[in-house]
Amino acid sequence: MMEEIFLSYAEKIKTSMDPMEIGELLDSARNNDEETAIKLLKETKDSITEKITASTDLEAIGMMLERMRWIDKGATRRLLKQTKDSISEKIRACNDQDAKVRLLDIVGEVDDEIEKKIETEDVTKPCIERITDDAIIFLSQLLADTKVKNYGIDNDKINEVLTDLKTNLELYQEAKERYESYQSNVEYRSHYEAKKRDLNSTLNKYNEISVDIKRKCM
C-alpha cells in the first residue's frame, strides 16, 4: 500500500509545475507515513530543483520549502544550497516586498547562513531593514508636506505607524545583533524571531495605509 502511494505521489510531483501543489503533495505523504515522505523527497529532489528554478511564485516556493523542511531539514538545506542563486535572482526581480520577507524567513528556518548570504548579496540588504527604512522616509516626508491635510489623510494614523516602525526596527536590530553574537543561544534566537515578527506586523499595517495614501494623493 505504501509503495502504491509512493509511486502515485512521485509521478504527480514529477509532472506538476506548481510548487504549491508539490508542497501539498509532500505534506499529504508525510501525514500518511513519514518514512514514505522522506523516500519521496529523496526520489524527486532533482525534479523539485527544476521546479524551483522555473517558478516565479515566491509564496509557492516558500510553502514548498517549508513542507520539505518538515520532512527532512538536512535534505532541504542541501537543495537550498543548489538553488540559492536562482532564489536570489527571483527575490531581486520581485516587487512584492512582503513575499520577499516571507521567503527569506522560511529560508532562514532551513539555514540561516544561506539567508545571510542572500541578504548580503544586496538582494534585500537586508530586506526587512531596507523596506522599513523606505517606509519611514516615505511617511516622514508625507508628514512634512504642508498639503497633506488637503488629501484627507489621517495624520494621527500616520504618526502611529511611523512611531511603531521606528520602535520595532530598533528592537529588531538590537535582537538581531545579540543573536548574531551568540547564535547557539536558543533564547536569543527566539527573541530575535519574535522581534522580526513584530516588525513584519508593523510593515503590514504600513502597507495597508500606504495603498490608501497613494490613492488619495494621486
Does the structure show a pLDDT above 60 at 204?
A: yes
User: In whole angstroms, what is the distance from residue 184 CA to residue 57 CA?
Assistant: 33
What number is the average pLDDT over the span 121-136? 70
Q: How much is the pTM?
A: 0.57
Domain boundaries, the chain: 2-119, 127-217
Q: What are all long-range contacts of 40-44, with beta carbons under 8 Å and residues at least 24 apart? A: 40/6, 40/9, 40/10, 40/13, 41/68, 41/71, 41/72, 41/75, 42/72, 42/75, 43/6, 43/10, 44/10, 44/13, 44/14
The pLDDT value recorded for residue 128 is 79
For helices 127-144 and 97-110, what crossing angle results, to 10°?
Answer: 150
3-state SS class at 153:
coil
What average pLDDT score do residues 103-122 get? Answer: 79
**C-beta separation of 100 from 91 below 8 A:** yes
Look at residue 122 and tell me whether its pLDDT is greater than 50.
Answer: no
- Report how far residue 152's alpha carbon sits from residue 170's, in angstroms, rounded to the nearest whole number: 30
Q: Is the pLDDT of residue 150 over 70?
A: no
Average pLDDT over residues 17-36: 91
